Structure 1
């Protein structure tokens, strides 16, 4: 057997899981495709001890610390196939390598699917965001927009007035009922029904179909998400339907429905952040280690 554990995904959750296993002196391989979900953002916030740092710097430092342990190896590649046989798990990569392990950890993440509004994707992570706790404070109390994608956008619209005067751009995504409109009014949220044509400007100037332009310091949107990797499906893992998309179903130890396969981070959570992903990874690494000692739970 090549490794005790292969971790697919070397972002915050995968790195944190790896650290627990490395400190237990287990042989670990991390396979990473270098596509962190927050690679578009310049700074990361809300993670104790790392607030305001570059997401890349946080990940790079964590990787350096992990690779200081002699039982850990790193492979810059994309895992494309995986399976199980009588001897354990196997995994193959786009680069043509094939490795085996007693356990797998899927920290494969998700992909955000943004609305098809001109100029939106180019500003993702810069002046277009999804998490108020991650980016709201830096808007310094300036005007904020919420671009509706569904009724879920009500949640953002009702939260964001704590960070600045807020406008909800309905954009034909849903029709607020009387109760919802009353809730928005109580929170001081302005409702704009004119469809959005495009996003322009250095920050996020919302250009409406009637030609009006409404400048905001930041624009928030609730994207749909999809799995960034097919591995969970190929292995037969069960999924749960979340408000934004499916995620991998796990138990309290973060083991999936497939014994010996664990999952953590954004791929295994309805909602997440850097801080949550790190904690989730630590829990997953410990759960995986315990399974190596005490065996797999009965199905």
Structure 2
């Protein structure tokens, strides 16, 4: 089957891109297995006019609106292979179907690498979180911690005192020094070098963190800046260039979200150094508009 634009990923970025294209009266296929990165969060916060909605509610609303356009189609599957062809790209899905598209938008394909500490994964997206702007307000005025995973955690720890009393857990590996340490102290951040060995709670709310020396520190919210891994095989297949970002590799794009391979646009967390629902929506909008312009001007 042929289409003008195929979008891999049907969450905030991919559906935002699709909206621009269907309103431009272009044929669009969105391929999505409905396993978004934000599926662990009960609510999305800080999204204009959508504060407090669940990611699933936002997706359902977007799909309902998109399905009112006759040139939109959603396919519940995963893209596993791609090759460049004359005039576009051929994308193969896990179910075996193949689609030819003139332009391709990638809007999915990264996975969070969480610290291998018991209790972190179980509380992820609830009381173990990564973004104060997304979830910090709900954890305000209580004991908070930052689990250091790299130097980015120092920046994170300097932000968090605006929401509550903060302790930076360096794990004995990532210790701030000089001006960074002075700034954290000025912000009232406590420094704990003994490693967290377990996060204890009921799977929703944390009660405390257990340290290697046997102490138990009451913590109600724990911030983690996870490293990310590119997991979609399409990036390697297309030989897309990457750049190093604070949380790991990201796809290199220009101001219009076009990658190093002409005709391939990349939106959302896969290309955004700073990641949030709002940034994903904005980048999807740009990718959709840019793909439409590329169809018109044949580039």
Q: Which residue of 1 aligns with 2:145?
A: 145
Residue 151 of structure 1 and its aligned partner are, at CA, apart by 1.8
- 1:106-145 matches, within 5 Å, as 106-145=106-145
Q: Could you give the per-residue CA deviations for residues 109-134 of structure 1, whole angstroms, max 9, x where no partner exists? A: 41100011111001000110000100
User: Do 1:227 and 1:246's aligned partners in 2 also have CA atoms closer than 8 Å?
Assistant: yes
Secondary structure in 2 matching 1:90: strand
Q: Which residue of 1 aligns with 2:21?
A: 21
Secondary structure in 2 matching 1:39: helix
Query: Which 4+ residue blocks in structure 1 deviate beyond 2 angstroms?
Result: 178-181
Residue 140 of structure 1 and its aligned partner are, at CA, apart by 2.6
> Which blocks of at least 5 consecutive residues in structure 2 are unaligned?
none
Secondary structure in 2 matching 1:210: coil
Q: Could you give the per-residue CA deviations for residues 186-224 of structure 1, whole angstroms, max 9, x where no partner exists? A: 000011111111000232211111221112221001110
User: Do 2:119 and 2:201's aligned partners in 1 also have CA atoms closer than 8 Å?
Assistant: no
> Which blocks of at least 5 consecutive residues in structure 1 are unaligned?
none
Is 2:272 aligned against 1:264? no
Residues in 1 aligned to 2:254 and 2:186: alpha-carbon distance in whole angstroms: 40
Q: TM-score, normalised by structure 2?
A: 0.96
Secondary structure in 1 matching 2:25: coil
Is 2:8 aligned against 1:8? yes
Cα RMSD, aligned residues only: 1.1
User: Do 2:272 and 2:279's aligned partners in 1 also have CA atoms closer than 8 Å?
Assistant: no
Is 2:51 aligned against 1:51? yes
Q: TM-score, normalised by structure 1?
A: 0.96
Residue 143 of structure 1 and its aligned partner are, at CA, apart by 1.1
Residues in 2 aligned to 1:146 and 1:47: alpha-carbon distance in whole angstroms: 24
Q: Which residue of 2 aligns with 1:36?
A: 36
Residue 228 of structure 1 and its aligned partner are, at CA, apart by 3.0
Residue 269 of structure 1 and its aligned partner are, at CA, apart by 1.1
Q: Could you give the per-residue CA deviations for residues 82-102 of structure 1, whole angstroms, max 9, x where no partner exists? A: 011213210001101000010
User: Do 1:151 and 1:173's aligned partners in 2 also have CA atoms closer than 8 Å?
Assistant: no
Secondary structure in 1 matching 2:217: strand
Is 2:282 aligned against 1:287? no
Q: Which residue of 1 aligns with 2:183?
A: 183
Q: Which residue of 2 aligns with 1:213?
A: 216
